[in-house]
Amino acid sequence: MKYGFAKRVKHLQSSAVRDILKVIDNGNVISFAGGLPDDDMFPVEAVQAAFDKTFQSGKKALQYGVTEGFMPLREIIVERMKTKGIQSTVDELLITTGSQQAIDLFSRVMFNPGDVVLTENPTYLAALQVFESYEVKVIPVLSDEHGMLPDDLAYKMKKYKPKCVYVVPTFANPSGKVWSLERRHYLLELAKRKKVLIFEDDPYGRIQFNDEEIYTPIAALDDGTHVLYTSTFSKTVVPALRTGWIKGPFQIIRMMAQAQQAAVLHSNSLAQHALYHLCCDFDLDGHIQLLRKTYFNRMKIMHELLQSANIPLSYVVPKGGMFFWIKLPEEINAADLLGHAVMRGVAYVPGAPFYVSDPEQNTIRLNYTHSTPDKLKEGMRVLVEVFSETNSTVHS
């Protein structure tokens, strides 16, 4: 039977990243493809203790909960955001099923078909999928390693009159880049002048490698009127709890809570209670320090092996987050090369699906957080060989 799907899902496709992960999920391939933290870095005992405490605290956590989220957890998130300079009340905060749902709920309450969102190019693939499912027109803005280019941003704000600018300004996925403070200010000032919202997606902000640096969230520069800020426990605790949050103007958060009610009534309360106990009883900041050190060392290993490649690669060394974003020589098609790499036991994600338009076929995203140092070395040696061999072939 031919099923009559809605027009808005006509272009909805499974993410290329997920498809690759499915194929290589047999344990024989060293994967730099997913955006995964290292399983061995999960604070398993602390999570278990937090759930034990939740069950010891009575049956309330098993009951239906409040749509906006478990109040004691919201209070903790408000305090934790203050350390990043973000001021919020609990009423401006909604707990969501990961940051992914925050993007979805925001889109659901804000966008009509044909509304325009400006993004970087490339940008977070799963955000593009959400925008597409709400029939949003996504317009890419030119950018360099410091963020969106002011002239192009101003031009596209004027030309397209967007409803929102979606950005991942701190250790972006996939590009790994960090916006300069000037570019953050510029975007905010322009957005205020043009009465445009900024959606700041910040899952990686805590995974920074240099403790001395300060990467001020755009939300910390705002007076609470123009920026929606989402973050998550996925990268700092465990993704399986599927708990994130969004902070923004009260009217938008209230509308999103209503949409949340319609979607799932509320995000998983058991996870929220457990995260509350975890935040109270476990040294989460100490754990984050350990993640920073561990992931920094892995990034260095990957970097050293990239430097050993006898082929011109272009990339920015990440200052945090989970990814290297690499440009291979122009003649090399990263998607074509993938089959070859997987046959040799290594996987990565070709960069093209992360583009809104005009994909650069010679780009790849490499994750350095999921593999152990030994696997990283082994996989990178193979990958560098694959790069070099392909480079010789295309130039022979």
Ligand X SMILES: Cc1ncc(COP(=O)(O)O)c(C=O)c1O
Binding stretches for ligand X (CB under 6 A): 35, 98-100, 124, 168, 173, 201, 203, 232, 234, 239, 244
Tell me which residue has its CB nearest to ligand X. Answer: 98
Q: Tokens representing 312? A: 């011109």
Q: 3-class SS at 246?
A: strand
Q: 3-class SS at 206?
A: coil
Task: Tell which residue, 123, 116, 234, 101, has the closest CA to residue 165.
Answer: 116
d(CA 188, CA 211): 25
E strand map for 309-387: 323-327, 346-347, 349-350, 363-367
Smallest gap, in angstroms, from Cβ of residue 34 to ligand X?
9
Smallest gap, in angstroms, from Cβ of residue 100 to ligand X?
3
Number of CB atoms found within 10 A of residue 381's CB: 13
Contact criterion met (CB below 8 Å) for 165 and 187: yes
Would you say 164 or 384 has its CB closer to ligand X?
Answer: 164
Would you say 188 or 207 has its CB closer to ligand X?
Answer: 207
Would you say 204 or 387 has its CB closer to ligand X?
Answer: 204
Smallest gap, in angstroms, from Cβ of residue 239 to ligand X?
5
Smallest gap, in angstroms, from Cβ of residue 98 to ligand X?
2
Q: How many CA atoms lie within 13 A of 16 on its CB side?
A: 17
d(CA 193, CA 209): 34
Smallest gap, in angstroms, from Cβ of residue 268 to ligand X?
13
Would you say 131 or 387 has its CB closer to ligand X?
Answer: 131
d(CA 238, CA 236): 6
Q: How many CA atoms lie within 13 A of 171 on its CB side?
A: 25
The residues, ordered by sequence, that sit 6+ positions from 26 with a Cβ below 8 Å of its Cβ are none
Would you say 98 or 351 has its CB closer to ligand X?
Answer: 98
Would you say 102 or 383 has its CB closer to ligand X?
Answer: 102
Would you say 246 or 338 has its CB closer to ligand X?
Answer: 246
Residues making up the chain, counted from first to last: 396
Strands 227-232 and 346-347: unpaired
**DSSP state, 37?**
P
Would you say 84 or 332 has its CB closer to ligand X?
Answer: 84
d(CA 73, CA 129): 29
Would you say 170 or 391 has its CB closer to ligand X?
Answer: 170
Would you say 65 or 98 has its CB closer to ligand X?
Answer: 98
Smallest gap, in angstroms, from Cβ of residue 182 to ligand X?
22
Smallest gap, in angstroms, from Cβ of residue 331 to ligand X?
30
**DSSP state, 331?**
T
Smallest gap, in angstroms, from Cβ of residue 386 to ligand X?
26
Q: 3-class SS at 124?
A: coil
The owner of tokens 């749902």 is 101
d(CA 219, CA 86): 6
Task: Tell which residue, 319, 252, 325, has the closest CA to residue 93.
Answer: 252
Smallest gap, in angstroms, from Cβ of residue 53 to ligand X?
23
Smallest gap, in angstroms, from Cβ of residue 335 to ligand X?
21
